[in-house]
């Protein structure tokens, strides 16, 4: 399996974290999309930031402290932007509660539905999903197909390696619709 890295300049990573985890504690999850060029080597897949987009309040169908659902227009717009840029899509959202960061069962259920759609629309470009919390982050990437994710190894930020929790069990994700 390839080592998967997301490369973000520190200034962008800090702005992204401020959006996802505002200083004035919001009772709601936040979201953003990153558009990244992917480079695949023998042992490493690098997602290199090309652009990013904050999801504003109008981009949510619903959201709470433990769940969010984007509007169809928001999801379609992110896919179209990735298509127009020729990039992979990276979805990022926050979990505002304490504890080890990991994708939740509802996140995984949503990914089982969304990743195959994006994979098809973006002609099999890799896809990355991240969750950010006050105590860290975690992420899964789909590199070879839309049914078998791999753990993110690190975010590289101006040379610094930031390590994810790797707390999301891969066995929880199954492309056949079961948890």
Give the whole-number percent of the chain exceeding pLDDT 70.
95
Distance (Å, whole) CA 85 – CA 102: 29
Query: Does residue 132 surpass a pLDDT of 90?
Result: yes
List own/partner pairs for 13-16 with CB under 8 A and 24 or more apart. Answer: 13/155, 13/157, 16/52, 16/92, 16/132
Q: What mean pLDDT is predicted for residues 23-52? A: 93
With H, G, I as helix, E, B as strand and everything else as coil, classify residue 152: coil
Query: Does residue 175 surpass a pLDDT of 60?
Result: no
Query: Does residue 29 surpass a pLDDT of 60?
Result: yes
Query: Does residue 24 surpass a pLDDT of 90?
Result: no
Q: What mean pLDDT is predicted for residues 64-69? A: 90
Per-residue pLDDT band for 173 (boundaries 50, 70, 90) equals low
**Strand 68-70 vs strand 60-63: parallel, antiparallel, or unpaired?**
antiparallel
- List domains and CATH numbers for the chain: 3-168 (3.40.140)
Contact criterion met (CB below 8 Å) for 131 and 103: yes
Per-residue pLDDT band for 177 (boundaries 50, 70, 90) equals very low
Q: What is the pLDDT of residue 171?
A: 80
Quick one: how far is CA 108 from the chain centroid?
12
Distances (CA, A) of 12 to 17, 67, 98, 129, 156: 9, 25, 24, 17, 12
Contact criterion met (CB below 8 Å) for 108 and 134: no
Contact criterion met (CB below 8 Å) for 165 and 100: yes
């Amino acid at each position: 399996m390839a080592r998967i890295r997301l490369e973000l300049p520190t200034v962008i990573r800090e702005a992204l974290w401020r959006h996802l985890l505002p200083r004035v504690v919001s009772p709601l999850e936040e979201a953003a999309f990153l558009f990244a060029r992917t480079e695949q080597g023998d042992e490493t897949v690098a997602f290199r930031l090309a652009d990013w987009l904050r999801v504003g309040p109008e981009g949510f169908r619903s959201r709470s402290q433990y769940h969010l659902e984007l509007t169809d227009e928001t999801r379609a717009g992110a896919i179209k932007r990735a298509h127009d840029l020729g990039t992979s899509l990276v979805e990022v959202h926050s979990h505002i509660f304490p504890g080890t960061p990991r994708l939740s069962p509802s996140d995984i259920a949503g990914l089982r539905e969304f990743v195959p759609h994006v994979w098809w629309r973006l002609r099999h470009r890799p896809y990355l999903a991240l969750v950010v919390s006050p105590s860290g982050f975690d992420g899964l990437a789909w590199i070879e197909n839309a049914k078998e994710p791999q753990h993110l190894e690190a975010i590289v930020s101006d040379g610094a390696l930031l390590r994810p929790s790797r707390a999301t069990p891969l066995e929880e994700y199954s492309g056949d619709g079961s948890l």
